[in-house]
């Protein structure tokens, strides 16, 4: 057994102890839910799952959703209820990416898949009936790392326009040296030890820690200037808390608009859970996401 498995064992055949809900019949009746294979210049075609309000015929804002799961677990369908609810609540098209998972597909495979889908969304906006100026990239946990990295890559390569990045309890720094990471080293649920195993899965056990790419760990970027406006949610008892807060402060210092909210009493998103704290986190995030998806003239009103 490798060091990564010792720190963060995983078995994809064992159900995760998370409150992941399937789409209800009521939601399904109001949505067009589809599956597509998106061509990629960086590797094989990428599978996506799309959600769109059935009665929407006008160009809609779009959410590029990059799911969490420590870079090595879960699929878009595990978050289908949330994606369906987002599409209906914000009258938006949601595109959930089935990116390649580590350790079989280590960095940058997953990021390549996510970036290819962003390129496809921008290039196919007319066919998809979406507004290319209102694409918001969002992700939680490891999905937050991918979302932030997609924004960095788009900036650095003069890529598609991104209206906002919405990061929930994001993974951002592989150095694992923040006060919260040390405090919650042996936390119940997701811990600092689990975070160490997660990075070993994603970057390899023989990696050179001094040479980590900012596209893997966005906190490694020398500059965060010129990035999309950010929405960042952190949780009090999460080992990742401080890297999210520090990333928000750096974004602000580099001239980017940022909304930051730290939720008291909340854990990472795995047991133990505080239902009331999670509801507050969800309500705040949905409100901020809705603001980011509005047309510019409405958002400024």
Annotated catalytic residues are 141, 238, 268
Of 231, 221, 105, 212, the closest CA to residue 166 belongs to: 231
Q: What are phi and psi of 99, to 5 degrees?
A: -75, 160
| Cβ-contact 125, 190 below 8 angstroms | no
CA distances from 193 to 65, 190, 197, 210 (A): 27, 8, 6, 20
């Amino acid at each position: 057994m490798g060091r990564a498995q010792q720190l963060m064992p995983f078995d994809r055949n064992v159900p995760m102890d998370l409150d992941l809900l399937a789409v209800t019949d009521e939601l399904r009746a109001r949505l067009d839910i589809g599956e597509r294979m998106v061509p990629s210049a960086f590797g094989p075609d990428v599978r996506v799952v799309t959600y769109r309000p059935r009665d929407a015929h006008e160009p809609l804002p779009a959410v590029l959703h990059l799911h969490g799961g420590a870079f090595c677990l879960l699929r878009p369908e595990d978050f289908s209820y949330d994606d369906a609810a987002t599409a209906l609540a914000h009258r938006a098209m949601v595109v959930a990416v089935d990116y390649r998972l580590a350790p079989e597909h280590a960095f940058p495979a997953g990021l390549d898949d996510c970036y290819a889908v962003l390129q496809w969304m921008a290039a196919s906006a007319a066919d998809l009936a979406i507004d290319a100026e209102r694409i918001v990239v969002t992700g939680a946990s490891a999905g937050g790392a991918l979302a932030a990295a997609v924004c960095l890559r788009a900036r650095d390569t003069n890529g598609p326009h991104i209206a906002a990045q919405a990061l929930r309890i994001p993974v951002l720094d592989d150095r694992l040296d923040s006060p919260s990471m040390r405090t919650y080293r042996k936390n119940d649920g997701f811990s600092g030890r689990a975070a160490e195993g997660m990075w070993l899965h994603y970057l390899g056990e023989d990696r050179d820690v001094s040479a980590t790419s900012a596209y893997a760990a966005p906190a490694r970027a020398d500059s965060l200037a010129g990035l999309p406006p950010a929405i960042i949610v952190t949780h009090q008892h999460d080992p990742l808390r401080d890297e999210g807060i520090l990333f928000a402060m750096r974004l602000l210092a580099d001239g980017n608009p940022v909304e930051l909210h730290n939720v008291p009493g909340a854990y990472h998103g795995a047991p133990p859970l505080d239902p009331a704290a999670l509801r507050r986190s969800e309500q705040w995030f949905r409100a901020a996401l809705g603001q980011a998806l509005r047309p510019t003239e409405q958002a400024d009103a």
